[in-house]
A and B are shown apart, each in its own frame.
Chain A
Amino acid sequence: MSAVVHAHPQSGPVLGVTGKPNRALSDAGLRGRWWRFALILAITAVVLVPIMVTVVLAVTPGPTSTATGFTLENFGSVFSETLASTWLQNSLITTLSTVTVAVAVAAPAGYVLSRGRSKAVSGYSLLLFVMQSLPIITSVVPLFILFAGMGLVDNLMGLTIIYVGSTMTVATWMMAAYFDSIPISLEEASWIDGCSVFGSFTKVVLRNSLPGVLSTAIFAFLLAWNDYLVAIVFLRSTEIFTLPMGVQSFFQQNQTDWTSVMALAVVMMLPPIIVFAALNKYFSVGGIGGSLAGR
């Protein structure tokens, strides 16, 4: 049989709660729907309390402000008094480069892991996991010394290389898992048509792997976007800080000005939220887990 099922998942009830999918909703079904709505609304409300705190403080007038109630002036002051826009730009550059390079490295490696089912290859697959288990806090100093020798410290490129390296292991696994769900018969057909292994990888396999690529990209995005443990050792100049570094330094020096601190925090939350909202529909069609599940 084939595994096409996994590449093209269908939707439907899981617990069988709505009975047969195509049947019109009964009264009970409708009531169940609103019950579930209420339940999830309650859970979401509770879960989001810490985030609401952040947002509320961000729109509260600051200690020196004359405004009352709701205000956006904290955002204005954060952008005018700090390098927030530069930090935002740096973070975007670093994160997007990380995502691009991580996928470019992980996809081919994942393909080999998926198709080359030998001892050496599965050994390498395990090695990926073993090697990344060392906590980053013990790696930062040796990496800094190594990178300093290459002139890659206080430099966004050096940071990007480390992010690529640290996302690459899990990313490779994720890509391999996704490729597993793509039937090899597709490649075989292309080989017969005269395609090389590389050609069929790029033209046939990769082209059919958008969900896998996207979930890998998201993973890399979040790691690079949120890191500050590496950044704090590798970056020195305020004008090349990434946002977490900026937020961190701003936190330390403006302890009484919570409203500005939180405004900067909200700025930092926005890009990932936008990314998630935009890509939401791909997750429902087999995001990270879907690709892994197909393995």
Chain B
Amino acid sequence: MFSIREVSARPLGLVALLGLAACDIELSAPMATAHPGDATPRRGGTLRYASLGDIRSLDPARSSDAVASAVIRLVFAALVEFDEQGRLAPELAERWEVLDGGQHFRFFLRQDVRFHDGSRFTADEMKRSLERALAPDTPNPSASYFRNIVGYDSYVAGKVPHLDGIVVDGSHELSIHLTAPDAAFLPLMTLPSARPVCPSAGARFKSDWHPCGTGPFQLRQGGWSRGQFVRVVRSESYFVKGLPYLDAIELHFLVNAPTQRFKFEAGELDFVRDLAHADTLRFARDKRWQPSITRGPDVDIYGESMNTEVPPFDNVEVRRAVAFAINRKALVALRPLHLSVHTSAIPRSTPGFDPTFEGQTFDLPKALEHMRRAGYPFDPKTGQGGYPHTLPYLVYPQGLFEKSGQLVQQQLARIGLRIELRLVSWASYLSLTQRRRTVAIAPMGWSQDYPDPSGLLDPLFGSASINDTESSNSAFYRNAAFDALLARARVELDPQKRTAVYRECNTILRDDAPWAFTVSYHAFEVRQPHLRGYAPHPVHAFNFARTWLDRASAVRSPLEPAR
């Protein structure tokens, strides 16, 4: 027995005890499925999931975040889309022709498509939508991806009222002419900016326009509350007969990780992927949940970006030493269910990824040898030698880098490179790492903007992407041979030949080491078993368009209108 005085002496102990109790919570069992043996899709129900973040806009012409893109894909269909196998497939376009050696794309549009407001989808509407998205006064963060369209420069300069390169050949035939062949043009056409919008959007961007497209779901008035939720409901006019099966999909914003887990277990969410690390491990080791766990696509790559214009990384030997010094398996151990060792510049899920390519490897003796060649010999036994100055290493809070940075610090110390972690805000990190001669080494990540190797290699390592500020080439890497390969790959339409060119690119990057490539990231997804028909998409996250619900007990969303 203890007195009150003893309790009062241990307030922090009590807090720790309560905290421990909160952390040591076992998972509840998966929810029952009504028809476990029957794979026939059923119509009805509202699928709910949540996100840690919020969205800025649901206008395809202004979208710039991954969370919004997932909703935009539900509301706005594209001319072409990546299918379940990761191949480009017809969507609003029944078929297409590639003419003039890749400089002319002619799309034959479906004739049975209507917008959510009932109006017909035609080639004119497609041209208007593209021109609206690329217009000079549209705050489009990805307009320049389409600069290869004939007349783009004059159009964005406001010199001409229309984009000359987009030509309406008939009510349902549209041609797009490019200034040069572009092998990545079709993947670009899957971006939000290239998705047609209802006539109500007009010819110019308006911030108060109500999002409306041709996708399987539509957004009704009041269906989006900023910072709270977005609810899209089935479009009865969707051009794929019988789809979608779901009545509605709800995405709840700004739900923190522990709450997502609580809501998921309570049946308030059907799908979750923003789990706290401890909960991820709990789900992974719980046999009851094994059949309900999936791995999302690998679309992000990470590495240590070394500024090739700043000492000591202006010396290729030091960069090679870093590439050999990093033990990637140790980094993966930080988040084993989210990270994989990845040692090239093309993510696994990107078409053109070459699984046979041997990238950078961990080899400490070789790393020490490269330090010696660079003129900074280091003796690991005595700790003598190495690069004589301590290098600042920028990280921002609440991300992987805050933790991986500490491991990298230890690993680089073994070859005589001493780094000092500096915690800055996300905004400062972006600003400083993209500024010339400012940061020597920093952890860096890149997510594919569109599923093509050019979406990573050109901005990250092409010399055309070097700027004094806002340089996406944060290593300020410049290599004429590499640039020539990028240019070749851009116009090479044969996929096999193109893969071979990118293999050469990867070889140069491995040896020149502007980055020490480390890991790739994939989502750890858990769904309730009653969410049926779900399979992770090879390219996109949140692939719910063909899923259905088979709940054993009816659950009504508070956002659902009362029947």
**A and B part of one assembly:** no
B residues whose Cβ falls under 8 Å from a Cβ of A: none
A residues whose Cβ falls under 8 Å from a Cβ of B: none
